[in-house]
Amino acid sequence: MNKSRHDIIFGIHAVQAVLQNDASRILEIWVQEGRQDARIEGLLNQARQHDLTIQTVAKKTLDKQVEEGSNHQGIIARCKAQAMQTQDDLAQLLEQLTVPPFLLILDTVQDPHNLGACLRTADAAGVHAVIVPKDKACGLSPVVRKVASGGAESVPLIQVTNLATTLRWLKEQGVWIIGTAGESQQSLFATELTGALAIVLGAEGTGLRRLTQELCDTLVKIPMFGQVESLNVSVATGVCLYEAVRQRTNAT
């Protein structure tokens, strides 16, 4: 498999998502020989309905296609490479929305497991797009897709050249930018999160960069009642997004 020309999607949920959302991207499916699994058989039945090529291969062949330590769960889809979406795509997305935009912005998150978990939560919370900077941040990878459990196939991941420029542009579009910072005196739970909204979370350990903080309309903190000082970025994402979901649901 030529990884530079093709996307490798592995894991039951991730392969299921691409089958459901855009089966035309799939070039072929590789399945582990001898694997007796009702879930995989269900995926193969879907693949056959789309007349997709299915190859039965040894487990070690699949192992070579994924990052060491990753669990492919006995199935891999080799897909047409998908270009990363840009701010132009974001502009088009916002134009097409009939409800206030609900966005997640991740400032230099570099761990693919965290990005994947954030995409999974973003999908569950109904986020319209996740925005990341092009540099010093993780992009879509097979590991991200696997951890996202289908979220990477349903939530647009927008990669922007200059996050500060994008934040300024979003503000011009009427989007309220809420950043998270442990030093803020304002609680997340006392902050209005309805309307056109983007929630911004920072990198593992370092948080939001200075300029990112300065461009936020408001900085909030997640109240911490124990001895730990901060939450993992994917956990913090879940807390923030679902507080917004709670408010937005009650407001409709």
Residue ranges of domains in the chain: 6-80, 87-251
Which tokens go with 68? Answer: 């060491």
For 149-206, write each residue's pLDDT tens digit.
888 888 999 999 999 999 999 999 999 999 999 889 999 999 999 999 999 999 877 8
Residues within the annotated binding site for S-adenosyl-L-methionine?
A: 202, 222, 231
When pLDDT is averaged across residues 39-57 and rounded to a whole number, the result is: 91
Determine contact, residues 9/65, Cβ cutoff 8 Å: no
| pTM, to two decimals | 0.83
CATH topology identical between 6-80 and 87-251 = no
For 74-130, write each residue's pLDDT tens digit.
999 998 877 779 999 999 999 999 999 999 999 999 999 999 999 999 999 999 999
Phi, psi angle pair for 14, to nearest 5°: -65, -45
Query: Quick check: 215 pLDDT over 60?
Result: yes
- Dihedral sign computed on CA atoms, order 55, 57, 59, 61: negative
Q: Which CATH number fits domain 87-251: 3.40.1280.10, 1.10.357.10, 3.30.70.20, 3.40.50.2300?
A: 3.40.1280.10
**CATH number of this structure's domain 6-80:** 3.30.1330.30
Residues within the annotated binding site?
A: 202, 222, 231
